[in-house]
Amino acid sequence: MSGLRCMLMRGGTSKGAYFLEEDLPADPDERDSLILKIMGAPDPRQIDGLGGAHPLTSKVAVISKSEDDKADIDYLFLQTGVDQGFVTDQQNCGNILAGVGPFAIERGLFQAAGESAEVRIRMVNTDSIATAVFPMHEGEPVYGGDQEIAGVPGHAAAVRIDFEETQGATCGTLLPTGHTVDVICGIEVTCIDNGMPVVIMRADAVGITGYEEPTELEANRELRSLIEAIRLEAGPMMNLGDVTNSTVPKLTMVAPARDGGSLCTRTFIPHRCHDAIGVLGAVSVATAAMIEGTPAASVLTPRSDGVVVVEHPTGTFDVAIELDLSGPIPSVSRSGIIRTARKLFDGTVFPRDY
């Protein structure tokens, strides 16, 4: 077994295997089959692979130099199943994105002089651009620093990410149904896509407080049945088609903040309750909170600096949003977040039966 080059990295509150595109099969079906063997899926424990037995730690980044004049690096995100044998490219991942710039420099795809790097990254899944800025020292990424993010112990170097043209990246428009509020299964929801398709509803509208632990919500069969029915109906309304076997849209329940933030969230991704909240999911929720009349706006504690502090089960997530509300349809001027990343392992992975 010759194995393949692989770097295991933590990006934000996720963990994944990073590969150069040239090191994987060109055929997507062959590539996906190989990735499942590398991750050890399908198996709930992923005992025979790199997967972390949870969707948040079973992710893959495929990286290459970009041929797009607007970008330096291409980043294809692949979400793998844990106990299900699937690989999907139907969504972005802003957490894994945090490790893309450092990985590109580690592999010689990008060079930066000075004390910081600014890498323009094309997110292949949605053909949109993000710019990552992070510290450097003598031509190498700096992983140590004093930035804290909720859900990750200790401190690390800050990775600032600014998103461009993320509105409607998957669904075609920021509000794909054409409305700020729709009623699905008797529940008022906002269907929104500012980098991640999300269906947002008030927690009390679906019979919960919004402050429960994720394990409690996962055990609530009545809740899960209701929100899955909402998701399946919302899919076609959001131009996503039949989403029965899809990882989007996500489902976020919002409640008033209770720890000094702007609002509190609980998110299904879509069948497991997130221990935190995804980067682009948080961006979409924060955007909805800035639009008058939405369920998210109804629970929002606004701030004067335009930052939406999103509370989640393990802490908070700050999102900087600038919206143009002058026209009949809201338009996103800017979305920005701070993440951290760290190289965990670099070497050779030996996939099962390959």
Residue in 259, 321, 12 with CA at minimum distance from that of residue 149: 12
Domains of the chain, first to last: 4-166+340-349 (3.10.310.10), 182-329 (3.10.310.10)
27: which DSSP letter?
S
Integer Cα distance of 38 and 4 in angstroms: 10
Integer Cα distance of 249 and 199 in angstroms: 7
Ramachandran angles phi, psi of 159, nearest 5°: -120, 110
Side-chain-side CA neighbours of residue 233 (13 Å):
14
334 pairs with which residues across the strands? 322
Q: What is the percent of the chain with per-residue pLDDT over 90, rounded to a whole number?
A: 88
Integer Cα distance of 42 and 98 in angstroms: 27
Q: Region 72-83: what's the mean pLDDT?
A: 96
Q: pLDDT by residue (tens digit) across 253-300?
A: 999 999 999 999 999 999 999 999 999 999 999 999 999 999 999 999
Integer Cα distance of 103 and 96 in angstroms: 11
Residue in 102, 91, 156, 82 with CA at minimum distance from that of residue 125: 91
Q: How confident is the model at residue 2 (pLDDT cuts 50, 70, 90)?
A: confident
152: which DSSP letter?
S
Question: Are the C-beta atoms of 150 and 126 separated by less than 8 Å?
Answer: no
pLDDT at residue 151 in the model: 86
Q: How confident is the model at residue 199 (pLDDT cuts 50, 70, 90)?
A: very high
- Length of the chain, please? 354
354, pLDDT greater than 80: no
pLDDT at residue 327 in the model: 81
In the structure encoding, which two tokens stand for residue 267, read together? 């998110």
CB contact set of 260 (below 8 Å; sequence gap of 6+): 309
Q: Region 196-225: what's the mean pLDDT?
A: 98
Cα distances from 257 to residues 8, 41, 77, 314, 352, in angstroms, run 35, 37, 31, 14, 46
Q: Region 332-344: what's the mean pLDDT?
A: 93
Integer Cα distance of 258 and 160 in angstroms: 27
Question: Are the C-beta atoms of 344 and 8 separated by less than 8 Å?
Answer: yes
304, pLDDT greater than 60: yes
DSSP track, 178-239: SSS-EEETTEEEEEEEBSSEEEEEEGGGGT--S-S-HHHHHT-HHHHHHHHHHHHHHHHHTT
Q: Region 25-53: what's the mean pLDDT?
A: 96
Integer Cα distance of 312 and 295 in angstroms: 17
Q: pLDDT by residue (tens digit) across 212-263?
A: 999 999 999 999 999 999 999 999 999 999 999 999 999 999 999 999 999 9
Question: Are the C-beta atoms of 233 and 240 separated by less than 8 Å?
Answer: no
Q: pLDDT by residue (tens digit) across 119-149?
A: 999 999 999 999 999 999 999 999 999 999 9
Side-chain-side CA neighbours of residue 82 (13 Å):
14
Strand 116-123 versus strand 140-141 pairing type = unpaired
Amino acid at 58: S
Q: pLDDT by residue (tens digit) across 144-191?
A: 999 999 889 999 999 999 998 889 999 999 999 999 999 999 999 999
The average confidence (pLDDT) of the chain is: 95
Q: How confident is the model at residue 1 (pLDDT cuts 50, 70, 90)?
A: low
